[in-house]
Structure 1
Amino acid sequence: MLLGAGQRIVFIGDSITDCGRRDHAAPYGDGYMGLVRAFVDARHPQLGLTWVNRGIGGDTVRDLAARWEADAVAERPDWLCVMVGINDIWRGFSPGREAEAVPIDEYERTLRALLRRAVTTTGCRLVLADPFLIEADVDEPQRAETDRYAAVVAAVAKDFDAVHVATQAAFDRVLAHSPSSRWADDRVHPGLPGHAVIADAFLAAIGA
C-alpha cells in the first residue's frame, strides 16, 4: 500500500470526482472517491488518513487552473489525485459549446504546469487518472479523441513519477462483456457500478 500513516489525500477534478460532494453527498461525494476512501479506511484503519474532495462538476483543466492555489496547493496534500479532461474533450462534441473545448496541446501544457506547481510547493506525490468515454468502439470520434488525451496523461504520469490509473482500460475490460448503458446513460457520468469500476482501478494502482 502506497499511502502512509497520517497522510492527507486530496482529489480534484470534474463532476466524476464531485459527485454531489457539495450538496446531497457532502463532503466526499457518492462516486469513486467515496468508494476509494471507504475501502481504504476499512482495510487500513490504523493509518488515520484524511480525505478531501475538491471536484467541481463541469470543470476543464482551465477551471482547475483558476482554483488550483486554493483547492490543490493550499490543501497541502501528501497525495494529490487528479482526474480531468472529459469536459475538455466533450465540449468539442457538444453543439454550441465547441469554443469551450480545450485543445490537446493546451491541455497538456496546463496540466504539466499545475502539477509542477503542486509538487514544487507541497512535495506531494501524484495519482493521475485518465479521462475516459464509456464507449467500446475505439474508432468512434469522441472515443478516439479521448484516447489521445489519455495518452497525454500516461506520458505526464511517467514524467512526474506519478501513480497512473488507467480508467479507460478499466472500462474497456467491462465493455468487452456488457453494453455502455449498463455503466452510464450518457457514456460519461457513471452510475454506482461504473464508479466502482473506477474505484477498483484506483485501489489496484495504489496497492490497496
Structure 2
Amino acid sequence: MQTLLKLLRISFMTLPLLAMQQAKPTRVIFFGDSITQAGVGTKGYISQMKEILQSRGMGDQYELIGAGIGGNKIYDLYLRMEEDVLAKNPDVVFVYVGINDVWHKRTHGTGTDPDKYVKFYEAIIKKLQANNIKVILCTPSVIGEKTDYSNEQDGDLNYYASMIRDLSRKHNLTLVDLRKDFQEHLAANNADNKDRGVLTTDRVHLTEAGNKFLAEKMLDGLLKK
C-alpha cells in the first residue's frame, strides 16, 4: 500500500512536468540578411508565418525568431552564429543567405567567391548539425525580376543556387528552393517584364506580396516531413 502511495505521489509530481515538456514549442530561427531582418516587421515574412500558423490553430506549436542583419554575407553568418543562433538553443534553423554574396560583387566590389561561399556554408551546416539542430537551406531569390534572363546577375544567382542544392543533397537537408519558386511566379505574373514591383520594391527587398509569397514557401519547408 505504501509503495502504491509513493508511486501515485511521483505520478502527480511528474505529470505536470511532462505536460510542460510536451507544450514546449519548436524554436525556429531564421538566419540571414536584410530580407530576414525585415521579416520580423509588421508585414514581414516571419510575422506573416506566425499569422498563418495562428489561423491554422498551430500558433502555440512554433516559436519563430528572426536573426537577420542587413548586408550580411555567408561569412558574417558564420562569425555570429554562436551568439545569434546557438546561444538561443533552436530546434530548427533556416539558412537564407547569398543575395549579398552575389550582389555586392557589382555594387561594392566585394561579394564572396564560390569556393569560399561553399566552405563557409558547409561549416555552418556542420556546426548546427553537431548541436542536433535541424537545418533547412534556402536558395537566393532574385536580383531583378525580369523574366527574359536579362537581369545582370542571373547567371551568378543560378550558380550559387545550384551550390546550395548540391549541399542539401550532400547533407540530406530540406531545401526551400526560392530561386526556382520566384522565377516560376514571376514568369506567370510579370507579363510586362518589369525589373521590380511584383515581389520586390528595389529588385531585391520584398513588397508585402513578396513577403507573403516567401512566408508560404518557408512554411512549406518548415512543415515538410
Aligned: 1:166 with 2:182: no
Corresponding letter in the other structure for 1:205: G
Tell me the matched-pair count. Answer: 195
Aligned to 2:38: 19
Contact 2:101–2:111 (CA under 8 A) maintained in structure 1? yes
Aligned partner of 2:8 in structure 1 is: none
Q: Check if 1:131 corresponds to 2:134.
A: no
1:203 aligns with 2:203: no
1:113 aligns with 2:123: yes
1:83-102 map, 5 Å: 83-94=96-107, 97-98=108-109, 100-102=110-112
Are 2:128 and 2:135, in contact at CA under 8 Å, matched by a contact in 1?
Answer: no
Distance 1:198 1:11, change over 3 A: same
Superposed displacement of residue 38, structure 1: 2.1
Question: Helix, strand or coil: the match of 2:28?
Answer: strand
Output one character per residue of 1:165-193: Cα deviation in whole Å (capped at 9) or x when no partner. 11112211221121442222321111111
Q: Which piece of structure 1 moves more, 102-111 or 178-187? A: 178-187
Runs of 4+ in 1 over 6 A off after TM superposition: none
What are the within-5 Å matches in structure 2 for residues 49-68 of structure 1?
Answer: 49-68=62-81
TM-score relative to the length of structure 1: 0.85
Is the Cα–Cα contact under 8 Å of residues 127 and 164 in structure 1 kept in the other structure?
Answer: yes
Q: What is the alpha-carbon distance in structure 2 between the residues aligned to residue 160 and residue 37 of structure 1?
A: 28
Q: CA RMSD in A?
A: 2.1
Q: Distance in 1 between matches of 2:58 and 2:36?
A: 23
Report % sequence identity. Answer: 26
User: In structure 1, how many angstroms separate the alpha carbons of the residues matched to 2:97 and 2:56?
Assistant: 28
The alpha carbon displacement at 1:39 in A equals 1.1
Matched, 1:191 2:207: yes
Residues in 2 aligned to 1:200 and 1:113: alpha-carbon distance in whole angstroms: 28
C-alpha distance in 1 between matches for 2:72 and 2:139: 15
Residue in 2 that maps onto 1:45: 58
CA distance in 1: counterparts of 2:59 and 2:77, whole angstroms: 33
- Which stretches in structure 2 are left out of the alignment for 5+ residues? 1-22
User: Take 1:199 and 1:20, find their aligned partners in 2: how far apart are those partners?
Assistant: 9
